[in-house]
Amino acid sequence: MIAATDRIVLAAGVTLRQGRLADEVRGESWPLNGSAAFVLGRCGEPIGVTVREVAESFSLPLETARADVLRFVWHLNRLALVNVESGSRRVERLHGWLRLALRLAPAGSVPASLTRRRPLDTRSALRGLGTCLAACARRTAAVAAVATVVALELFSAAGSPGVALPVALGICTGLGLGLHEAVHAAMLRGVPSALVTRGRRTFVLHAAVPPGRRSLVALAGPLAVAAIGTGCLAAAALAPVPCLAVAGCPLAAHALALTVFTGDGRVACGL
Amino acid sequence: MRSLKAFLLGTLAVGIVAYAVAAALAVSAQAAGRMLDLRLGPLEIVSVATQGTATAITFGPGLLALALVGGLLNLAAATVIRRRAERQGDHVD
C-alpha cells in the first residue's frame, strides 16, 4: 500500500547517472524517459506532491498522473530499486491497511506487499554475516514472536504445560531465518549484495557469480543452519535435554531448502 | 551430474529432517520415562529402551531408507522441473 504522504528513496546501491538508473548490485543500468527522470528526481518528496507536479508539468489530469506515478513506483519497488518510506505513524498505516484489506476481501485478495531492500557489507565474510543479521533482525524477531505464540497454543492444546519449550522453538525458528540469510551473505564475500524482503519472502540479491560459486552460496545457507540444528539434536540425545531437542528441530528443518521444491535447492541443482 | 546432485541433496535433506524428528521424539520419550519403537515396516527408525536405570536411544536403518526415498523423490521432482523448462523453451506462439 502506498499513501500520498509516503516518500520514495533510491535503494542502497542504486544511483541516477546521466539519465540512467544504475544498480550496482545487478551491475546493470536502464535509460529513463523524461517523466521517469522527473519522478525519480523528486525522491524524498511526498508522493502526493510529486503527483501534483507531474500533472502540472505534463498537463495531465490529476487522476491520470496519480495512476502513472503509482504504477511506475510500484514497478520500481517490485524490482527492489526504490524503497518506500512511510510518512505516517505505524498505527495509521495499520488502520489504512485494514481498511484496504476489508475492501479487497470480497475479491479474495489482500493489499500488495511493499519490497524493502537493505544494504549488505560483503567486504569480508564476518561483515556480511553481521550486516545481514542486523538487516533482518526485525523480521527474525517477528517470526520468532509468531512462532512462539503458535507453539504455545499447540503445546497447550497437547496438554504440555510450561513455556520453555514453545519459547525455545519460537526463538530458534526466527534465528534460523536470520542465520540462513546471513550465511548466504557471508559466502558472497566481495560480491555486491543486498537483503530484500517482500511480504513473507526474504532473499539476498547479489551480482552475477560463476555457476559453481552460485551453487555453493545457495547450499551454504540451509546447510549451515541444518548442521547447527543437527548438532543441537545430537547433543540433546547424548544428555537428554528435551528443550535442546525441540529447539534443534526448526533449525534442522532448513535442510528441506536443499530440495528442488525451494529456490536454493533448484539453484544448487543447476535447474 | 544434475541428477546425481538432486538425488544426493534430497537424500541429505530428508535424512537430516528424519533424524531431527526421530531424535526429538526419542529425547522426549526418554525424558518422560517412556519406551519408543518407531519402525518403517521391518526397518527400525528409532527406539528408546530402558534396562534397569539406564536408557538407550538407538537409530536404525529405517532412517537411511527414508533418506533414500527422499533422494528418489527429489530426483523425480528435478526431472519434472527440467522437462517442463525444456518444453517451455520450445514453445512458440
All residues of chain B having their beta carbon less than 8 Å from the beta carbon of residue A245 are 23-24, 27-28
pLDDT at A112: 87
Please say if the pLDDT value at position B92 is more than 60: no
pLDDT in tens, B9-64: 999 999 999 999 998 888 888 888 888 888 888 899 998 888 777 788 888 999 99
Kindly state whether A235 is in contact with chain B, defined as any CB-CB distance less than 8 angstroms.
no
All residues of chain A having their beta carbon less than 8 Å from the beta carbon of residue B70 are 259
CATH number at residue A85: 1.10.10
From A107, A140, A155, the end of a domain falls on A107
| pLDDT higher at A131 or A199 | A131
From A82, A107, A132, the end of a domain falls on A107
All residues of chain B having their beta carbon less than 8 Å from the beta carbon of residue A268 are 5, 9
Please indicate whether, in this complex, the C-beta atoms of A259 and B10 are within 8 angstroms of each other.
Answer: yes
User: Do residue A165 and residue A52 come from a single domain?
Assistant: no
Kindly state whether A46 is in contact with chain B, defined as any CB-CB distance less than 8 angstroms.
no
Separation between Cα atoms, residue A169 and residue A133, nearest integer Å: 19
Kindly state whether A269 is in contact with chain B, defined as any CB-CB distance less than 8 angstroms.
yes
Please indicate whether, in this complex, the C-beta atoms of A233 and B13 are within 8 angstroms of each other.
Answer: no
Ranking A100-114, A217-231, B15-29, B42-56 by mean pLDDT, the lowest is: B42-56
Please say if the pLDDT value at position A176 is more than 90: yes
Which H, E and C letters describe chain A, residue by residue? CCCCCCEEEECCCEEEECCEEEECCCCEEEECCHHHHHHHCCCCCEHHHHHHHHHHHCCCCHHHHHHHHHHHHHHHHHCCCEEEECCCCHHHHHHHHHHHHHHHHHHCCCCCCCEEEEEECCCCHHHHHHHHHHHCHHHHHHHHHHHHHHHHHHHHHCCCCCCHHHHHHHHHHHHHHHHHHHHHHHHCCCCCEEEEEECCEEEEEECCCCHHHHHHHHHHHHHHHHHHHHHHHHHHHHCCCHHHHHHHHHHHHHHHHHCCCCHHHHHHCCC
**What are the sequence ranges of the domains in chain B?**
2-83
Kindly state whether A224 is in contact with chain B, defined as any CB-CB distance less than 8 angstroms.
no
User: Do residue A197 and residue A94 come from a single domain?
Assistant: no
CB-nearest to B13 from A240, A245, A255 is A255
Q: How many CB pairs under 8 A join A and B?
A: 94
The yes/no answer to whether this complex scores an ipTM above 0.95 is no
Domain count, chain A: 2
User: Do residue A134 and residue A261 come from a single domain?
Assistant: yes
| pLDDT higher at B54 or B71 | B71
Kindly state whether A233 is in contact with chain B, defined as any CB-CB distance less than 8 angstroms.
yes
Considering the domain boundaries, does residue A2 fall inside one? no
In terms of residue numbers, what domain contains A182? 115-268
